[in-house]
Structure 1
Amino acid sequence: MREKFLSFLLAAALTACLAAYLFYHVGLISWMRELSAAQWGTLVLLIFLASLIISQGYRFIIHVRPWNQGHLTRSLALLTILTGTLAAYTYFLDIVVQDWLSNLGENTPSTSSLLLKGGLVSLILSLLIIWIDYSWFAFARYSKETIHRLREARNKKELQFILLRSQLTPHFLFNSLNTASYLATSHPDQAEDFIRKLAFNFNNLIRNGIQPLNSLERELEIVDNFMHLMRVRYGDKVILEKRIKPGTEQNFLPALGIQLLVENALKHNIASLDAPLKIMVTADQLQVVVANTLTQKPDKVESTGIGLKNLRERYLHYGRSVPEISEGGGFYEVRLPYVTPNLSQR
């Protein structure tokens, strides 16, 4: 109902403006002040009827013939209803004006050009309305398709990110169970303590959930809990050093990013009392650097292949460059730039 009323008002404005334009070009604007109430009523009735036909005809055409079902057919139908109605409106307007002027004497303005001008203006207005109507349709279709593409891309990204997040816990579980298996066969007395601490860490992980991003402060807390777990197996064979510049604790990183690098350092190096594995976490205003000494490599390393690949993909999800990896001077080093989150990503 609201759309019908709005289309009628627009058609009424169109026909009223057309009448005013035609009266002005044949010199009848001043004469309109002399119209009686009955004559004004007749003029309003003509405007009402023309507006009603235009609005109802337009709505009927757009209902039975959408633009995507035939551009030419709809254009011709709109041109017919608009030009025909406006031309007829101009014709009857000319008739009633001629009748009114015949009673005013010989010095009244001539309306000989009213019908000609009305027909030409009606055609121009009809073509303009059709062009506006199609432009609106094309813009709406373009906007809809663009939004659809963006929504699909976003859904794809979200599904990919959910998959990446779902890999984090299995990655941690895989490494932890390998450690538990090792302790159960080589150090049975330490296996129970390790499993209890593992259960505590999993309970903490499940309770807090895996967020897309963590503050550096939260990441360091997770690493501390993880190293508390690893000390059951490694004892003094592994040394963790943290050099955190004040004021950097609230910067954000992909969740469990530091822990993944610590896990990889433990996995790919043999730690001993004679050659302890030293892991250093350094943070400044630009990045976090996780470095570890390179010791003897294990003969066989079981891996899921998730770690660094997962971390790279999550950085790409946030539109950032991948972590920088370097090796030299007896150290393996990974640089993690901070991530600036949107509100929807936190």
Structure 2
Amino acid sequence: MKEKLLSFLLAAALTACLTAYLFYHVGLISWMRELSATQWVTLAGMIIGAGLLISQGYRFIIQVRPWDQGHVTRSMALLTILTGTLAAYTYFLDVMVQDWLLDLGENTSPSTGSLLLKGGLVSLILSLLIIWIDYSWFAFARYSKETIHRLREERNKKELQFNLLRSQLTPHFLFNSLNTASYLATSHPDQAEEFIRKLAFNFTNLIRNGIQPLNSLERELEIVDNYMHLMKVRYGDKVLLEKRVKAGMEAKLLPALGIQLLVENAMKHNVASLESPLKIMITAEQQQVVVTNTLTQKPEKVESTGIGLRNLKERYLHHGRAIPTVSQQGGFYEVHLPYVTPKDSQR
């Protein structure tokens, strides 16, 4: 209803402006002061009628011929209804003005003969202008709609990809933990129960808090401490964890469970013993976190799915950051994890 009223008011205003323009250019503005109330009502009725015809015709055309279903046909139809209505209005206006001048006992002004010609030309120009505005408006609207649709699809695709990556984290943690539980159940039954209880506690906490896209460094270190508390049940002093955190770095952000994944991998791919303990060092620098572990003897028959590090790299790409760098030299395996800023995550 509001759209219909707005289109009518715009069409009526257009017709009224055309009337004022024509009267001005044929020198009849001062004569309009002499019009009677009946003549003013008649003129207003003609303007309203032309406005109704234009607005209804425009709305009919845009309904039967949407912009994206043939804008050339739509434009030609709009040109016909706009120019035809305004030209017809100008013709009847010319006839009416001449009759009113005769009724007033005045000879027809020589300038009124050009009213029809001027009206037809101005009507054509106005019609072309309206069609250009219509084309530009709907072209921009379509471009905006397609752009928004494309961006929405890309965002949905990224969200689906991220949800898939996030869904891999819990199984990865559970798989490694169950392997440890299986080992303890056969080799150290007395420690297996304690381990399973601690595992249940950590797993419940993980589910309750959820896996966020990003965690602060402080939260990541807390998760690692909880995980290492589990591992101490099995390994004892065979695994040593050292943390070097520069002051003020606690609030820096990292992909969730990123450090824990590297700690898990370090213990999975190295044999720890009292004679040759596995040392894991977490160093929080100004721009990144460096997770380093010593290289000991490789375990036999260790299956590597590659999910952990690949998952971490893909999540970094999701957040718009360069992937972590990995190096191995001098008996050490080292992974550099750049911090992620909120600005990176919004890309």
Alignment CA distance shift 1:344-1:96 (3 Å): farther
Cα distance in 2 between the residues matched to 1:339 and 1:252: 5
Q: For residue 44 of structure 2, what is the aligned residue in structure 1? A: 44
Corresponding residue of 2:226: 225
Letter in 1 for 2:132: W
CA-based RMSD of the aligned residues comes to: 1.7
Could you say which residue in structure 2 is the equivalent of 1:53? 53
Aligned to 2:29: 29
Please state how far the C-alpha of 1:150 moved relative to its aligned partner.
Answer: 1.0
- Between the aligned partners of 1:129 and 1:223, the Cα distance in structure 2 is 67
- State, as a whole percentage, how many aligned pairs show the same letter: 83
1:54 maps to amino acid: I
Matched residue, 1:237: 238
Could you say which residue in structure 1 is the equivalent of 2:318?
Answer: 317
- With normalisation by structure 1, the TM-score equals 0.95
Task: Please report how far the alpha carbon of residue 144 of structure 1 lies from its aligned counterpart in structure 2 after TM superposition.
Answer: 1.3
Moved more, 94-103 or 169-178: 94-103
Report the CA distance between 1:330 and its aligned residue: 1.8
Per-residue deviation at 1:285? Answer: 2.8
* Distance in 2 (alpha carbons) for counterparts of 1:202 and 1:126: 70
2:189 aligned residue: 188
Q: Determine the C-alpha separation between the residues in 1 that align with 2:27 and 2:110.
A: 6
Task: Measure how far apart 1:106 and its partner are.
Answer: 4.7
Deviation at 1:230, TM superposition (A): 0.4
2:6 corresponds in structure 1 to 6
CA deviation string 1:126-151 (max 9, x = no partner):
12212211222211111111111111
In 1, the alpha carbon distance for the partners of 2:93 and 2:320 equals 65
User: What is the CA–CA distance in structure 1 between the aligned matches of 2:344 and 2:332, rounded to whole Å?
Assistant: 37
Q: Which residue of 2 aligns with 1:88?
A: 88
Task: Supply the distance in 2 between the matched residues of 1:123 and 1:172 (Cα, whole angstroms).
Answer: 74
- For residues 155 and 65 of structure 1, the distance between their equivalents in structure 2, rounded to whole angstroms, comes to 32
Tell me whether 31-40 or 201-210 shows the greater mean CA deviation: 31-40
Q: Which runs of 5+ in 1 are unaligned?
A: none
After the TM superposition, which of the residue ranges 97-106 and 290-299 deviates more from structure 2?
A: 97-106
Contact kept, 8 Å, 1:290 with 1:333, in 2: the verdict is: yes
Q: Which residue of 1 aligns with 2:300?
A: 299
Distance 1:107 1:209 in 2: 87
| Distance verdict in 2 for CA 1:344–1:31, change over 3 Å | farther
**Which residue number in structure 1 is paired with residue 98 of structure 2?**
98
Contact 2:320 2:345 in 1 (8 A): no
Three-state SS of the structure 2 residue aligned to 1:232 is: helix
* TM-score normalised by length of structure 2: 0.95
Q: How does 1:86-235 map to 2 (within 5 A)?
A: 86-102=86-102, 103=104, 105-106=106-107, 108=109, 110-235=111-236
> Structure 2: how far apart are the matches of 1:11 and 1:146?
32
User: Does the 8 Å CA contact 2:320/2:344 hold for their aligned counterparts?
Assistant: no
Partner of 1:20: 20
Matched residue, 1:256: 257
How far apart, CA to CA, are the structure 1 residues paired with 2:304 and 2:194?
24
Deviation at 1:341, TM superposition (A): 2.5
Counterpart of 2:112 in 1: which secondary structure? coil
Q: Does the 8 A contact of 1:11 with 1:51 survive in 2?
A: yes
Equivalent residue for 1:330?
331
In structure 2, the gaps of 5 or more residues are: none
Q: Within 1, Cα distance between the matches of 2:172 and 2:190? A: 25
Residues 184 and 234, structure 2, Cα contact 8 Å, conserved in 1? yes
Native 8 Å contact 1:281 1:291 kept in 2: yes
1:117 shift after superposition: 0.8
SS of 2:290's equivalent in the other structure is strand
- Counterpart contact for 2:319–2:345, Cα < 8 Å: no
Superposed CA deviations along residues 280-328 of structure 1, whole A, max 9, x for unmatched, are 1111231111111111222322222210000011111111111111121
Partners of 2:149 and 2:165 in 1: CA distance? 24
CA distance in 2, matches of 1:281, 1:344: 24
* Superposition deviation, residue 170 in structure 1: 0.4
* 8 Å Cα contact 1:28-1:109 kept in structure 2: no
